[in-house]
Amino acid sequence: MNKPSKKTNQRLHRLEGEITQHLTHGLIPFWHTRARDAKHGGYLTHFDEQGRAKPLRAKYVNTQARLVWWFSSLCRLQPEVRGSKALARGGAEFLFRHFWDPQDGGWYWTVKPDGSRDDMGKIVYGQSFAIYAMAEYTLGTGDRRGVEHASRTFDLLQKFCADTRYGGYYENLCRDWTPEEPGFSGGDRKGLDTHMHLLESFTTLYEASGAPLHRRKLMEVVDVICDHMIDTRRGCGLNQFNPAWKPIPAIAVKRTWNAERFGERPAQPTETTSYGHNLELVWLMNRAFQIAGADPKPYRPLLRKLVDNALKHGVDWKFGGIYRDGLRTGGALVKEKEFWQHSEALVGFLDAYEVFRDPCYLDAFECLWEFIQKYMIVREIGEWRVLLDRQGKPLDTNVGNDWKVSYHTGRAMCECQQRLRRLLGRP
């Protein structure tokens, strides 16, 4: 690859400085000073626009695990930051003590704030984040209990959730691993969202374990996604499928997919795609290839289609940022601006620029980053608002909830910092 021009190099220097400033003086201190639940253990997740903690109804395995992952990853990526290991260990102990099911194995979906039992369902989305967190916990802290629990969870997924006929995984199960009811309970559907997170969790699990089976199942998930879950002609992911991979109308699923917004009814038209998911998929796959030592070249044309579709239809060149959702046939449908799509799109566009060196991808990255800085980041406290309208007016001013902690925002800053430094030739 050619070295960046002097002008581009100056641009990359500026962007790296802005990203690093926000990470080190905003996101890291926000969660280091607020996340620990001193009363019950585990983490607090709900914060308003002033950074004040709000009451929790429950603690979710996915959000608690995301914070274990965050503090563990800082041990590796930002070793100069003090206190990360203790915060990671405190969250991991809470998960071991209160979320792990001693009877049937696996992780409960929710517990009450004090750790007592609440929803004991086995939701693969949540199991995936537990694997991701526990594997990273071992990589970051050296505590082998993490990768041991991650490997046990992986084995349970292969035993109870793997679809040996059509491939992929069933996603919504009861405590004893029997399938949930069809429809709103999700027992009859598979989704891109869950399988994408299995991709990221199996990647980190293989990184921690080095086990050949973990690598093989990782690459199987890659191929399931590419073969069944992406419109390869248009370059966009689909949402939900029946067990045989026929795309079906997207509905809200009670624990994981838009249930809070839509209740028990279709969430949006069938033929929609998420620009954030598509770009997240790009960089997660590239990372999977790197960790697995797999050749990325056969997948590159499809990944570039995903980037180009988001570039064409998802980026709001007028007001900045990226739209939430669009039509499969092209064109934005939901023009609100949400925190997580911006986080993942930042990494996706910068990852694509690093691989392909198309300046349009760097332009898109900067278009999103300028919008984020201007409207999404609450400068006084260092975190991002949840949801804005197209022009940046806040619709949900909170900076933490059952689904939003530092996993998207903080991870995006760490990933972007690494890529910008590589582009600048810095270690």
Query: Is the predicted pLDDT of residue 369 greater than 70, yes or no?
Result: yes
Structure confidence at residue 407 (pLDDT): 97
Q: What is the mean pLDDT of the chain?
A: 95
Across the range 232-247, mean pLDDT stands at: 95
Contact in structure between 378 and 30 (CB atoms under 8 Å)? no
The answer to whether position 385 is within a domain reads no
Structure confidence at residue 16 (pLDDT): 98
The answer to whether position 26 is within a domain reads no
**Tokens linked to 362:** 């760097």
pLDDT tens readout for residues 58-87: 999 999 999 999 999 999 999 999 999 999
Distance CA 149, CA 164 (A): 24
**Tokens linked to 413:** 């800053």
Structure confidence at residue 61 (pLDDT): 98
Query: Is the predicted pLDDT of residue 2 greater than 70, yes or no?
Result: no
- In DSSP terms, 334 is beta-bridged to 325
pLDDT tens readout for residues 297-327: 999 999 999 999 999 999 999 999 999 999 9
Banded pLDDT at 411 (limits 50, 70, 90): very high
Distance CA 69, CA 308 (A): 30
Contact in structure between 348 and 279 (CB atoms under 8 Å)? yes
The answer to whether position 44 is within a domain reads no
Domain of residue 351: give its range. Answer: 57-373+408-423
Structure confidence at residue 1 (pLDDT): 54
**Tokens linked to 16:** 């790296």
Across the range 339-360, mean pLDDT stands at: 98
Provide the CA 387 distance to its chain's centre, in angstroms: 17
Banded pLDDT at 196 (limits 50, 70, 90): very high
The answer to whether position 36 is within a domain reads no
Banded pLDDT at 256 (limits 50, 70, 90): confident
Banded pLDDT at 262 (limits 50, 70, 90): low
Across the range 329-350, mean pLDDT stands at: 96
Half-sphere exposure at residue 66, Cβ-oriented, CA atoms within 13 angstroms: 24
Banded pLDDT at 4 (limits 50, 70, 90): confident
Structure confidence at residue 252 (pLDDT): 86
The answer to whether position 98 is within a domain reads yes
Structure confidence at residue 113 (pLDDT): 98
pLDDT tens readout for residues 281-298: 999 999 999 999 999 999
pLDDT tens readout for residues 378-396: 999 999 999 999 999 999 9
Query: Is the predicted pLDDT of residue 257 greater than 70, yes or no?
Result: no
Q: Hey, what amino acid is at 17? A: G
Structure confidence at residue 267 (pLDDT): 53
The answer to whether position 49 is within a domain reads no
Q: Report residue 12: phi and psi, to 5°.
A: -65, -40
Banded pLDDT at 266 (limits 50, 70, 90): low
Closest Cα partner for 332 from 317, 352, 316?
A: 316
* DSSP-derived pairing of the beta strands 117-119 and 110-111: antiparallel
Query: Is the predicted pLDDT of residue 274 greater than 70, yes or no?
Result: yes
The answer to whether position 392 is within a domain reads no
Across the range 406-416, mean pLDDT stands at: 98
The answer to whether position 394 is within a domain reads no
- CATH number, residue 108: 1.50.10.10
If DSSP codes are grouped into helix, strand and coil, which group holds residue 33?
helix
Residue 301 carries which DSSP code?
A: H
pLDDT tens readout for residues 102-142: 999 999 999 999 999 999 999 999 999 999 999 999 999 99
Number of structural domains found in the chain: 1
